[in-house]
Amino acid sequence: MWFGGRPEEMARLLRRLGVSIEEVNAVKVTIELGDGTLMVVEPPEAVLLVKSRDQPPVFMVVGSHRVERRGRGEARFSEDDVRFVAEKAGVSLEEARRALEESGGDIAAAILRLTEKGS
């Protein structure tokens, strides 16, 4: 039960105030912090999208989470990303991997870095 009370009463009150609540069928919620730490809620008990007429949407996530800390230099990209960058930039997989590491996993920045280097 969310909101610590009867959800139908809370929903009715919020609708009168111009706020709607939608339940989102999420299976996992991941929040990445500025230092690369991940907060993972899996599975979330509830994910609610709260919308009002004049405000940006608000997501409310309910559930236990775990914290994942990334080590320095830990990859934030997949092997598919490496192959994609290598193909688009016309370089080896190793060069593409190195460019992705240097760009923090930013695919566009890695391709740009590699194509500027070759010109």
Residues 86 and 44 in one domain: no
Tell me the per-residue pLDDT of 53-78, one tens digit each, with 9 for 90 and over.
Answer: 788 999 989 999 988 876 555 557 88
Could you tell me if residue 43 is inside a domain?
A: yes
In a domain, 44, yes or no: yes
| CA angle at 37 for the pair 111 and 21, rounded to the nearest 5° | 95
- Rg of the chain on CA atoms, in Å: 21
Residue 2 forms part of a structural domain:
no
**pLDDT at res. 95:** 94
Identify whether residues 59 and 85 lie together within a single domain.
no
How does residue 101 score in pLDDT terms, banded at 50, 70 and 90?
A: confident
End-to-end CA distance of the chain: 60
Domain of 98?
Answer: 79-118
- Does residue 29 fall inside a structural domain? yes
Co-location of 58 and 28 in the same domain: yes
Query: Are 54 and 87 in a shared domain?
Result: no
Q: Is the pLDDT of residue 118 over 80?
A: no
Are the CB atoms for 100 and 85 separated by under 8 Å? yes
Residue 74 falls inside a structural domain: no
Buried b (16+ CB within 10 A) or exposed e, 11-46: eeeeeeeeeebeeeebeebeeeeeeeeeebbeebee
**Residue range 9-38: mean pLDDT, rounded:** 84
Do both 30 and 64 map to the same domain? yes
